Amino acid sequence: MPTSNAISYWEDGQESLVVLKDYFSHLCSAHHPDKILERDEIVLTQNTITVFGKKHLEPRLTAWMGPPYQYSDISWPQQKMTPLIQEVAGLISAQCGFLFNAVLINYYRNGQDSMGKHRDNEPEIVQTMIASVSFGASRLIRFTCPKKKQKIDIVLNHGDLLLMQNMQDQWWHELPKRKSVLHPRLNLTFRQIRSKQ
pLDDT digit string, tens, across residues 41-69: 999 999 998 877 888 899 999 999 999 99
Q: State CA 135 to chain mean position distance.
A: 11
Identify whether the C-beta of residue 130 lies closer than 8 Å to the C-beta of residue 191. yes
pLDDT for position 197: 55
- Predicted TM-score of the model (pTM): 0.94
For the chain, which residues make up each domain, given as ranges? 5-191
Identify whether the C-beta of residue 170 lies closer than 8 Å to the C-beta of residue 145. yes
Weakest mean pLDDT among 48-57, 60-69, 157-166, 169-178: 48-57
Report how far residue 75's alpha carbon sits from residue 84's, in angstroms, rounded to the nearest whole number.
24
pLDDT for position 4: 59
Nearest to 143 by CA among 160, 124, 166: 166
pLDDT for position 185: 98
pLDDT for position 17: 97
Residues in the chain: 197
Q: Report percent pLDDT > 90 for the chain.
A: 89
Report how far residue 129's alpha carbon sits from residue 16's, in angstroms, rounded to the nearest whole number.
9
pLDDT of 82 over the 70 cut: yes
Q: In whole numbers, what is the pLDDT of the chain averaged over residues?
A: 94
Weakest mean pLDDT among 68-72, 80-84, 91-95: 68-72
- E strand spans, 24-182: 48-51, 54-57, 61-65, 69-71, 74-76, 102-108, 115-118, 129-136, 139-145, 150-156, 161-165, 172-175
Average pLDDT over residues 102-129: 96
pLDDT of 175 over the 50 cut: yes
Angle at 190 between CA 22 and CA 137, to 5 degrees: 40
Q: C-alpha distances in angstroms, 60 versus 105, 108, 132, 142, 186?
A: 10, 5, 16, 17, 10
Weakest mean pLDDT among 3-7, 72-76, 116-120, 184-188: 3-7
- Give, in words, the CATH class of 5-191: mainly beta
pLDDT for position 56: 87
